[in-house]
Structure 1
């Protein structure tokens, strides 16, 4: 049979196979549809300043969600993210303000605390084979209690300039952005490169997809899990630094809802709760989707209760789509 001429168009099936997966396209399409809808509902939505505001509002959750993404890719979960972050911010603030420690050293101490909590989560999960849900539920309560005890439930203010670094602004045209937004983008690009272009990143996917098969291939699965939770804790510290830069205070009651918000961003971004499948850049889109919905609904005058309702519906739809995709796979 003669070969197909090069000028003949490919079949629809071959073209579909070349398209990006639904995991990549889904969050992007959802974001574009949301932007179009809210821009038609409010003339204030599609402005540079409002876009900058959305990015600022989601920056903390977006960085926390990097750690959550790494963990969910291994088929785990972390419920302690927000409370560990809050403890880290309190250490950063009180070490500098009350103990007189050099600001950068105080910030590093706070990040060391969050990293240590990540290590503790990973150690308990790998050493004693405990479920991630139970372990992180326990450390969530420990971090919350330690934060309240150490802070005496008092907010810390008058922070040094180094603590407020990421809240500084620069201007592009008529729009003002914070350096924290730039940090978020850089972190996502670095983690994307790590996951897609390095052997340890591919090992993380392998462990999440099939830990036993990964072990038989010679991948140190327990070490991968331990490092994943530890690195996630480090990102919680960076998120804490971003938080106090944005609010100019260290609040012991911060982080109350971030555990669910990070899971929401990860799921909406197309990462499978079953592990081994997803993209960290999708998580960034997921965080922005939540921010766009909340901002748009606020401009429309919709009550915050309905904002939470719609976010919950989006999460359920994303999980259903993930379940259907897993069954077909």
Structure 2
């Protein structure tokens, strides 16, 4: 009887809601819906403005340009789900990339060994971030702001500020830049790796106890701890896994750029955060899905690519990205005010 009364009350409350409140409730449960709508609108708008936008060649280039940001955004999503933020994503990626390239340059070390060392280094960097957050209780913003400078400096010192071109690197490090055709599309193996990363991490977050703990810690770390969730261990694991993901992004970047350079991806930090926020993941933690992050990464690159095809100046494209971030955070704040 009580269940029927509860259901009836919920149905009555739903009918009392205005259309705007219903939309608000839908977005609260599925925050990726609004960025998906924005992405579709952007595709239609850019197709009208420049008919070559939706050609197979253009879509292949767009996906290739999205790969690195989308990869970094996986790790950034994990961190933001715990109500943290990682400003060192680009620095960890570049440091890992330069170590991989420098160790294997001109046959100095087997490609597989150099790749593994670069990945381990990225994992250690993520672990260090997590250690400072969980053991010394420093705010994630301050920790990663500091390690951003540290990792950037180490990458420049280690590499001597020199770039290493693809012809000096083993085939394994360049492998993710190799492309293949699906009809008229030309895709790279880096895109395939990104899709696999999203599939694996989406499964982990939605179907495992660890994933539920990540959401619980982000929603309320103290309540999660009192409920028996090992909050600090979960946080440490999140930053460590994020480090591994940044290392994989470094491998993808080498293939995409055809070189390893310490000055690569200068906007990687901003782009990864933008993709996550636009994708509907709350900066306050505890809410968001990787599908939204992927859509967010596509939106970031779609606006840049589409405006570029229209001949819009770079400064205006940066302005558009900034407006998107403000709009996404405003929508997130509105969604969080949903009344149960």
* Shared fold, TM over 0.5: yes
Offset of residue 255 of structure 1: 3.3
Match of 1:87 in 2: 95
- Structure 2 counterpart of 1:174, from 178, 184, 188: 184
Q: State yes or no: 1:294 paired with 2:314.
A: no
Instruction: Determine if contact 1:64/1:81 at 8 Å carries over to the other structure.
Output: yes
- Structure 2 counterpart of 1:191, from 201, 206, 212: 201
Match of 1:7 in 2: none
Q: Partners in 1 of 2:114 and 2:267 — Cα distance? A: 25
Q: Partners in 2 of 1:199 and 1:165 — Cα distance? A: 35
Q: Could you say what secondary structure the match of 2:286 adopts?
A: coil
Go from structure 1 to structure 2 and tell me whether the alpha carbon gap of 1:91 and 1:301 turns closer, same or farther (over 3 Å shift).
Answer: same
- Aligned residue runs from structure 1 range 308-319, under 5 A: 308-319=318-329
Match of 2:40 in 1: 32
Offset of residue 200 of structure 1: 0.3
Match of 1:41 in 2: 49
Q: Could you say what secondary structure the match of 2:31 adopts?
A: helix
Q: Partners in 1 of 2:218 and 2:49 — Cα distance? A: 41
Match of 2:113 in 1: 105
Q: Deviations over 1:68-123 (max 9, x none)?
A: 00000000000000011101000000111167111011011111111111000000
Match of 2:74 in 1: 66
Match of 1:224 in 2: 234
Q: State yes or no: 1:141 paired with 2:146.
A: no
Go from structure 1 to structure 2 and tell me whether the alpha carbon gap of 1:51 and 1:192 turns closer, same or farther (over 3 Å shift).
Answer: same
Match of 1:327 in 2: 337
- Structure 1 counterpart of 2:83, from 71, 75, 95: 75
Q: Could you say what secondary structure the match of 1:76 adopts?
A: coil
Match of 2:7 in 1: none
Offset of residue 22 of structure 1: 5.0
Instruction: Determine if contact 2:69/2:297 at 8 Å carries over to the other structure.
Output: yes
- Structure 2 counterpart of 1:155, from 131, 139, 163: 163
Q: Partners in 2 of 1:38 and 1:12 — Cα distance? A: 41
Instruction: Determine if contact 2:106/2:170 at 8 Å carries over to the other structure.
Output: no
- Structure 2 counterpart of 1:305, from 312, 315, 329: 315
Instruction: Determine if contact 2:31/2:280 at 8 Å carries over to the other structure.
Output: yes
Offset of residue 325 of structure 1: 1.7
Q: Partners in 1 of 2:95 and 2:197 — Cα distance? A: 22
Q: Could you say what secondary structure the match of 2:259 adopts?
A: coil
Match of 1:240 in 2: 250
Output the TM-score relative to the length of structure 1: 0.94
Go from structure 1 to structure 2 and tell me whether the alpha carbon gap of 1:26 and 1:300 turns closer, same or farther (over 3 Å shift).
Answer: same
Aligned length: 321
Q: Partners in 2 of 1:12 and 1:292 — Cα distance? A: 39
Unaligned runs of 5+ in 2: 5-10
Q: Partners in 2 of 1:110 and 1:68 — Cα distance? A: 19
Match of 1:52 in 2: 60
Match of 2:261 in 1: 251
Output the TM-score relative to the length of structure 2: 0.91
CA RMSD of aligned residues (A): 1.9
